[in-house]
Structure 1
Amino acid sequence: MLEGNKIKIRPIEEDDIDIICQWLNDEEINYWSSGAWPLNTLYSKDQIMEKYLDGPSDVYRYAILNEKNLIIGTIGFKEVNVPGRSATLFIVIGDKSYWGKGYGTDAIITFVRFLFTQWNFHRISLDTWDENLRAIRAYEKVGFKIEGCQREARYVLGTYHDAVLMGLLRDEFLILHGK
């Protein structure tokens, strides 16, 4: 189990699936995490369980826990590039009562430290959409830099939005946050 200042990170367990289903069926959570409302609501509980517990071997998903060891979100990585020592990060704080209180930032710092020091990655990438300013600010606090955008790459509630591409190098992170 990884431990940050406010959070813990552990593998997702079967008992987590019910709450993850609730998050995937919440319009506001989907709006900010991916803009995929209502598409995510089309998954059955069995499909969500398969995706989160038995999903592709190249996608790694973990639970974010609060101080009382209750799940408040998920974090993970995908698109591992072994020669380039890089991967793509994703995170969702599904419990809205923890939004804007530093839990996401703590989870990202804790998890990225793990990816850089234990997985020996050189670079971590991520993307969000242009109106998700709260997420962009959190990523920038961790040290991610905006590297570009993909024009009109996200379709959110009937409108196209730019995808904001961000990246972080190991040395930059260690200067800001140490080992």
Structure 2
Amino acid sequence: MLQGKKTFLRPLEPDDIPIYHKWYNDQNVNYWANAAWPLSTMLSEEDIEERFFTPNKDCGRYIILNEEQEPIGTIGYREVNIPARSAVLFIIIGERDYWSRGYGTDALKVLINYLFYQWNFHRLSLDLWDGNLRALKAYEKLGFKVEGRLREARFVLGEYHDAILMGLLRDEYVQHHPPHPPETV
């Protein structure tokens, strides 16, 4: 289990399927996470098990736990490129009581530290839709830079929106977040 200041990350377990089902069928969660409501809110528990719980060597998916070790979201990486040492990150805070309270930023920092310092990744990227300014602010706080836009790539509630592409290089991150050993208890 990986630990941050406010969050813990642990691998998925079969018992997580019902909470995933809840999050992926919550229109507010999906609206902010990927602007896909209602398209991705029609998943059954069997669909979720097949999509998210089938082992995939190019994807790592974790549950985000709060201080009491209760599930509040999911985070991970996909599209691993071994020669380039790069991957694409994703995160969803599924429990709305934890929005805008720093839990997503903390969980991202934990995963970024793991990928840069333990796995020696060189580059991490992610994308979001231009209406999710809360996510944009969190990503910039961690050092991600806007690298481009896909014009009108997302269709949200009857309107087209841009997708924002962001990237973070290891050297840039290390300047502001140097590695440190875990704290002893």
TM-score by length of 2: 0.94
Distance in 2 (CA, whole Å) between partners of 1:55 and 1:36 is 24
Give aligned-pair identity as a percent. Answer: 58
- Residues 1:176 and 2:176 are matched in the alignment: yes
Summarize the alignment of residues 45-84 of structure 1 with structure 2, pairs less than 5 Å apart. Answer: 45-84=45-84
- Number of aligned residue pairs: 179
Q: Which runs of 5+ in 1 are unaligned?
A: none
Question: What is the one-letter code of the residue matched to 1:132?
Answer: N
Contact (CA 8 Å) 2:125, 2:165: kept in 1 or not?
A: yes
TM-score by length of 1: 0.97
Matched with 2:128 is: 128
Query: Per the alignment, in what secondary structure is the counterpart of residue 9 of structure 2?
Result: strand
Matched with 1:94 is: 94
State the Cα deviation string for residues 142-177 of structure 1 (Å, max 9, x = none). Answer: 110111101011111221110001000001111111
State the Cα deviation string for residues 6-46 of structure 1 (Å, max 9, x = none). Answer: 00000011111111111111111000000111111222111
Contact (CA 8 Å) 2:129, 2:161: kept in 1 or not?
A: yes
Distance in 2 (CA, whole Å) between partners of 1:92 and 1:53 is 16
Distance in 1 (CA, whole Å) between partners of 2:72 and 2:98 is 7
Distance in 2 (CA, whole Å) between partners of 1:16 and 1:175 is 36
Structure 1 residue 55, shift from structure 2 partner:
4.8
Summarize the alignment of residues 1-16 of structure 1 with structure 2, pairs less than 5 Å apart. Answer: 1-16=1-16
Q: CA RMSD in A?
A: 1.0
Distance in 1 (CA, whole Å) between partners of 2:148 and 2:47 is 33
Distance in 2 (CA, whole Å) between partners of 1:68 and 1:55 is 28
Query: Per the alignment, in what secondary structure is the counterpart of residue 6 of structure 2?
Result: coil
Question: What is the one-letter code of the residue matched to 1:53?
Answer: F
Matched with 2:117 is: 117
Structure 1 residue 51, shift from structure 2 partner:
1.7
Q: Which runs of 5+ in 2 are unaligned?
A: 180-185
Question: What is the one-letter code of the residue matched to 1:80?
Answer: V
Matched with 2:141 is: 141
